[in-house]
Amino acid sequence: MRALVTGVAGFVGSNLARALLDQGHDVVGIDSLTDYYELRIKELNLAGIPSERFTLVRGDLNEVDLDQLLTGVDWVFHQAGQPGVRMSWGRDFAIYERLNISATQRLLEAAKNSSSLRRLVYASSSSIYGDAESFPTRETDRPQPLSPYGVTKLAGEHLCSLYAANFGVPTVSLRYFTVYGPGQRPDMAFTRFVRAAVLGETIQIFGDGKQIRDFTYIDDIVAANVLAASSDVPPGSVFNVAGGSNVSVNETLDILTGLAGHPLNVDHVDVVAGDVRRTGGAIDKITGAIGWRPQVAIEEGLARHLAWGERTFGRSR
């Protein structure tokens, strides 16, 4: 297969590209290399992708010739977008609107004209649920985002459903629940935690730490994408991709303390607008449809994340 991975320099995109190449597929990756976080990290992600059978296009989905980009492509994995709940308020919302909504609509317009496309997998988010009405949250539960970021991810998901219903574009939307693992973005909680554990820095926790999250390991996210692309499911399908951890932030700190072998320095600060109190996804639908279920438990995943942190941050001491 020939796959297009948008946002290929990012955490999920780069891991997905490597996995596809390992499986013998050809990969075209596109990324505009925005400066939401250090470009050096994205460049290291790209450097870790084998060059054989991989083609990199540096460009913005709102500007490049997408018809040409999709020529001969069987699978599209749409990972690109502006991340982050806390930065999506105020004037910065225009960035989220452009990179999360407009870019997705433009990609879907090109997809509807493609003669080779078999599947377009869209990276949605558990942020679309906000403070959900029930747990574990099912795909049929009412979405009620608490942040502008969540609104833009839901809009992209609705666009996928619309293009599937009206033009038969073979979309699948995957609602990721808090992805973590080696190489996670530096602004995300677990990378901040392991960096602080390695360097003896203070860990900043927003709120009381009793927030419950459903953490999902990166390898499980990658596996869900590949299964969604290669399985026979109706266009417009929507699935939760949840790791099943359902632990509080404080509990993850306890696990990390045991793994690190020393106490952690923790400082609690005010809650940030848009952060939800709890997430937890039901996976009956995705398991039944494509056979996916998480393989990496939170304890093992955190151990791997910490080992990566020791290699990465330990060098700077």
What's this model's pTM, rounded to 2 decimal places?
0.96
For the chain, the structural domain boundaries read 2-180+216-243+283-294
**What integer pLDDT is reported at residue 315 of this predicted model?**
55
**What integer pLDDT is reported at residue 274 of this predicted model?**
82
pLDDT in tens, the chain (317 residues): 999 999 999 999 999 999 999 999 999 999 999 988 888 899 999 999 998 899 999 999 999 999 999 999 999 999 999 999 989 999 999 999 999 999 999 999 999 999 999 999 999 999 999 999 999 999 999 999 999 999 999 999 999 999 999 999 999 999 999 999 999 999 999 999 999 999 999 999 999 999 999 999 999 999 999 999 999 999 999 999 999 999 999 999 999 999 999 999 999 999 878 889 999 999 999 999 999 999 999 999 999 999 999 999 985 44
**What integer pLDDT is reported at residue 245 of this predicted model?**
93
Q: Compute φ and ψ for 305, nearest 5 degrees.
A: -65, -45
Q: What is the CATH number of domain 2-180+216-243+283-294?
A: 3.40.50.720
Cα 53 to Cα 24: distance, rounded to the nearest angstrom: 9
Q: Compute φ and ψ for 31, nearest 5 degrees.
A: -160, 140
Cα 198 to Cα 186: distance, rounded to the nearest angstrom: 14
CA atoms within 13 A on the CB side of 296: 20
**What integer pLDDT is reported at residue 314 of this predicted model?**
86
Residues carrying an active site annotation: 149
